[in-house]
Amino acid sequence: MRNSIIIAVFLIITFFTLRASFDGSHKKEKDLPSETVAGDASSPPEEYREIKGNIKKGETLFDIFKKYGISIADLFRLKEASAGVHRLRELYPGRQYSIMLDTDDRINSFVYWINDDTILNITRTESGFSAEKVPVQYEKKIFNIAGIIEDNLVSAIGDGRENLMVALELSDIFAWDIDFTTDFRKGDLFKVIVEGLYLDGEFRKYGHILSAEFQNNGDIYRAYRFGDGEDADYFDPEGKSLRKAFLKAPLNYRRISSGFSNGRFHPILKINRPHHGIDYSAPRGTPVSVVGDGTVIFAGYKGQFGKLVIVKHHNGYKTYYGHLSRIGKGIKKGTKVKQGQIIARVGATGLATGPHLHYEMRVNNKPVNPYRIKAPRVDSVPERLMAGFRKYRDEMNARLTSLNPPVLALAEEKSGDRI
Ligand SMILES: [Zn+2]
């Protein structure tokens, strides 16, 4: 049985400084630094004309070409050239584009921002147009964020979409160790070292979390991002992957928090343990995630459990999810499920006074406390990379140790070029 947690938010001046730079960058976002997007270093001659803007709702390239009197035949050539790289048929409102016209008003280059991280770059060559996708070259700075949790992570980390993203990524990193919906105690604290991505000297967004620390209920958890590109993962101080066979909780903080902006979001998820299982009070319809890979062995109605899903995992483990309002489509006996997959929605079927999830774990049919089981961490940093990992870890530890919360979103001037 736990009490709900008291609410208070720490807002620090450095944070407002950051907000100011968000606002200041708004106008700037429309400018497209040509040296950033052009594949080569030579900038076009002065007399070239640049047309740039952001795609308006419902606007097509045909509209834009017509508006500026640009050759429609060139438009077809652009589309043809980019066909194997990125389909130019679908343009998204708000995305930037830039068309460079030469002195004869012929297209010299066409640039379109596919997303925040990728640019489509089409240039005229002697044999026609050539298209390529180019990663956006952000300048990176390292941000230190730290705070004390009084209510929940989202409110502790501060306002705004960017802070929400950091909170959610943090909850994903520690999802095997900390139940972000219920585990917090007043005074728990977090520290985050995160990339801040800049274009043209303006803050655009946060990048990867490089390392993080949580002091939760007397325990200290640390995570370090290590590895190349998309293969990078988070490891503990010993170099073991933070991933385990079971997530800490069947209610996913990201899924609950997404779509809420700070201030309106207070997930009061109380836990009661009147029996073998754990009861999470949560709004009807809250997604229920399976805590580990496994196979569904029961999905249907069962007495006081109401609508129930039972999943069998390795080593004699089973997990039970009861009182559901809905069982996910395709979730039936024999279905293979992946860790974190949504299998059902919270409800109040069976013997339940209000919407809540009944969650239970059994080993060889004996109930166990899922919070107490010691699931081993399986993957590790490969031995040949351990020396590099330890060096990186020690560097990050020095940063984490020097951080004393509350410090919200304080950027260091130093660029993180090694990272
Ligand atoms: Zn129950």
**Residue with token string 């807002």:** 11
Tell me if 249 is assigned to some domain.
no
Domain end: 117, 135, 153, which one?
135
* Ligand 1 center–CA 280 separation, angstroms: 8
* Ligand 1 center–CA 109 separation, angstroms: 63
- pLDDT surpasses 70 at 9: no
Tell me if 225 is assigned to some domain.
yes
Tell me if 308 is assigned to some domain.
yes
Tell me if 253 is assigned to some domain.
no
386 and 413 belong to one structural domain = yes
* Ligand 1 center–CA 2 separation, angstroms: 15
* Ligand 1 center–CA 269 separation, angstroms: 14
* Ligand 1 center–CA 374 separation, angstroms: 23
324 and 388 belong to one structural domain = no
Identify the weakest region by mean pLDDT among 27-31, 110-114, 221-225, 289-293: 27-31
* Ligand 1 center–CA 139 separation, angstroms: 50
What is the average per-residue pLDDT within 399-415? Answer: 73
79 and 182 belong to one structural domain = no
- Check residue 181 and give left, alpha or beta (phi > 0: left; psi -120 to 50: alpha): alpha
38 and 20 belong to one structural domain = no
* Ligand 1 center–CA 176 separation, angstroms: 22
Tell me if 145 is assigned to some domain.
yes
CA distance 173 to 255: 14
Q: At what angle do helices 61-68 and 72-82 cross, to 10 degrees?
A: 150
* Ligand 1 center–CA 346 separation, angstroms: 12
- pLDDT surpasses 70 at 5: no
* Ligand 1 center–CA 51 separation, angstroms: 62
CA distance 135 to 126: 24
In this structure, are residues 288 and 249 in contact, taking their beta carbons and an 8 Å threshold? no
Q: What pLDDT is attached to residue 388? A: 96
* Ligand 1 center–CA 244 separation, angstroms: 25
13 and 143 belong to one structural domain = yes
In this structure, are residues 48 and 123 in contact, taking their beta carbons and an 8 Å threshold? no
CA distance 54 to 112: 9
* Ligand 1 center–CA 188 separation, angstroms: 28
Domain end: 82, 106, 135, which one?
135
* Ligand 1 center–CA 281 separation, angstroms: 10
292 and 343 belong to one structural domain = yes
- pLDDT surpasses 80 at 319: yes
* Ligand 1 center–CA 179 separation, angstroms: 18
370 and 389 belong to one structural domain = no
Dump pLDDT digits (tens) for 130-176: 999 999 999 999 999 998 887 777 777 777 778 888 888 999 999 99
Q: Which domain holds residue 85?
A: 31-135
* Ligand 1 center–CA 358 separation, angstroms: 4
Instruction: For residue 359, give the CATH number of its domain.
Output: 2.70.70.10
* Ligand 1 center–CA 33 separation, angstroms: 58
* Ligand 1 center–CA 406 separation, angstroms: 38
Q: What pLDDT is attached to residue 181? A: 80
143 and 16 belong to one structural domain = yes
Tell me if 294 is assigned to some domain.
yes
- pLDDT surpasses 50 at 40: no
- Give the global pTM: 0.74
Domain end: 101, 135, 169, which one?
135
130 and 116 belong to one structural domain = yes
78 and 61 belong to one structural domain = yes
Q: How many domains does the chain have?
A: 3
Tell me if 11 is assigned to some domain.
yes
Instruction: For residue 37, give the CATH number of its domain.
Output: 3.10.450.350
CA 172 to chain centre: 8
Tell me if 256 is assigned to some domain.
no
221 and 81 belong to one structural domain = no
334 and 401 belong to one structural domain = no
Dump pLDDT digits (tens) for 226-275: 998 778 999 999 999 999 999 999 998 877 765 444 444 445 566 676 67
- pLDDT surpasses 90 at 89: no
* Ligand 1 center–CA 293 separation, angstroms: 22
